[in-house]
Chains A and B, each alone.
Chain A
Amino acid sequence: DGGITQSPKYLFRKEGQNVTLSCEQNLNHDAMYWYRQDPGQGLRLIYYSQIVNDFQKGDIAEGYSVSREKKESFPLTVTSAQKNPTAFYLCASSIRQVRVQRDEKLFFGSGTQLSVL
């Protein structure tokens, strides 16, 4: 059954703690993304990766870090530097196409709700 798996579904962070959100895909997609969703603010891009061992900052990367050691995995670490981490975090993937005039569909996981204790 192909898709994107995010874990855990719910996560609690203590003050000063780093936490890591897992994202795994078996769609053989090259590109992976992390979005943050806050009520009334839509989805904002944190980091994205178009190929293994390479990633770029999105619009709100401060306080977050990622790695892309395997094609299937793109974990997100929320560091203690992120002062307002409470949000719904969504991982997505897409086929990386090199031709122009392509429309790239994002496939999303079911999300992780992160809350601060």
Chain B
Amino acid sequence: QQQVKQSPQSLIVQKGGISIINCAYENTAFDYFPWYQQFPGKGPALLIAIRPDVSEKKEGRFTISFNKSAKQFSLHIMDSQPGDSATYFCAASTGGGNKLTFGTGTQLKVEL
């Protein structure tokens, strides 16, 4: 049973455009929602994270939007750059804890 559903599976965006990746969860006990970025042949690295007491968190060009009632959260990458081309994973856990449930990943390609 997949508890975190992620879409789209792949995404192509023009340089300077906005990349949007969506995730939906089922477990209402989840209270910590990080996004990880993974480059080919490397392990994922934490990009940005949010807790459900806020609806939005912004760090540079990266923004998480969180909709608790809809049980959805999304990653927005503003002014997308070729260097942002990577696979992005959303995740969720309970108790702000470390046992994360990951989404299936979105492969982003930013074209010139």
Contact = CB atoms under 8 A, between A and B. Distances in A.
Find the residue from A44, A90, A104 having the highest chain B CB count within 10 A.
A104
Contacts of B99: 45, 48, 58
B51 interface: yes
A22 to B, nearest CB: 14
Interface stretch (A60-68, A70-78, A94-102): A94-102
A40 B89 CA distance: 11
Given A103-B32, A104-B97, A42 B102 contact: yes
Contacts of B102: 35, 42-44
| Candidate in B32, B89, B93, B100 with the most chain A CB atoms within 10 angstroms | B100
B49 interface: yes
Contact size range, A = 20 to 34
Contacts of B12: none
A38 B41 CA distance: 13
B96 A103 contact: yes
Given A40-B9, A103-B51, A111 B98 contact: no
B43 interface: yes
13 contacts: A31-B98, A35-B102, A42-B105, A43-B89, A43-B102, A48-B99, A94-B98, A103-B32, A103-B96, A104-B93, A104-B98, A111-B41, A111-B43
Interface of B: 6, 9, 32, 34, 36, 41-46, 49, 51, 89, 93, 95-100, 102-105
Interface of A: 4, 31, 33, 35, 40-45, 48, 58, 90, 92, 94, 96, 100-106, 108-111
